[in-house]
Amino acid sequence: MNGEEDPLRDRRGAWPLGGGHPSALSSAPPTRRRHRGRFTLIGAVLGGVVLLTLLLAFGLGRDPSVVRSALIGRRAPVFDLPLLDGTGRLGLADLRGQIVVVNFWGSWCAGCRLEHSALEAAWRRYRDQGVMMLGVSFQDSPASSRAFARDLQMNWPLATDSSSRTALAYGVYGAPETFFIDRRGIVRDRWTGPITYERLTDEITRLQGEHR
pLDDT digits (tens, 9 = 90+) for 58-102: 443 444 445 567 899 999 999 999 999 999 999 999 999 999 999
Percent pLDDT > 90 in the chain is 65
175 & 142 share domain: yes
**14 assigned to some structural domain:** no
What is the Rg, in whole angstroms, of the alpha carbon atoms belonging to the chain? 34
- Domain total in the chain: 2
Kindly report, residue by residue over 25-36, the tens digit of the pLDDT: 445 565 555 656
**21 assigned to some structural domain:** no
**70 assigned to some structural domain:** no
137 & 35 share domain: no
139 & 54 share domain: no
**68 assigned to some structural domain:** no
89 & 52 share domain: no
Backbone angles phi, psi at 55, to 5 degrees: -65, -40
109 & 176 share domain: yes
49 & 84 share domain: no
58 & 84 share domain: no
86 & 156 share domain: yes
99 & 193 share domain: yes
40 & 106 share domain: no
DSSP string for 10-37: -TTSPPPTT---TTSPP---HHHHHHHH
β-partners of residue 160 are: 137
Write down the pLDDT at residue 210.
Answer: 87
d(CA 44, CA 143): 57
Q: 205 pLDDT band (50/70/90 cuts)?
A: very high
**18 assigned to some structural domain:** no
33 & 103 share domain: no
- Of the listed ranges 60-64, 153-157, 158-162, 205-209, the one predicted with least confidence: 60-64
**170 assigned to some structural domain:** yes
**140 assigned to some structural domain:** yes
Instruction: Please give the angle made by the CA atoms of 155, 158 and 160, to the nearest 5 degrees.
Output: 155
Residue 200 one-letter amino acid? L
Average pLDDT for 137-159: 96
Q: What is the CATH number of the domain that holds 199?
A: 3.40.30.10
155 & 185 share domain: yes
Range of the domain at 35: 27-62
Kindly report, residue by residue over 6-52, the tens digit of the pLDDT: 444 444 444 444 445 544 444 556 555 565 666 666 666 666 555 54
d(CA 90, CA 159): 8
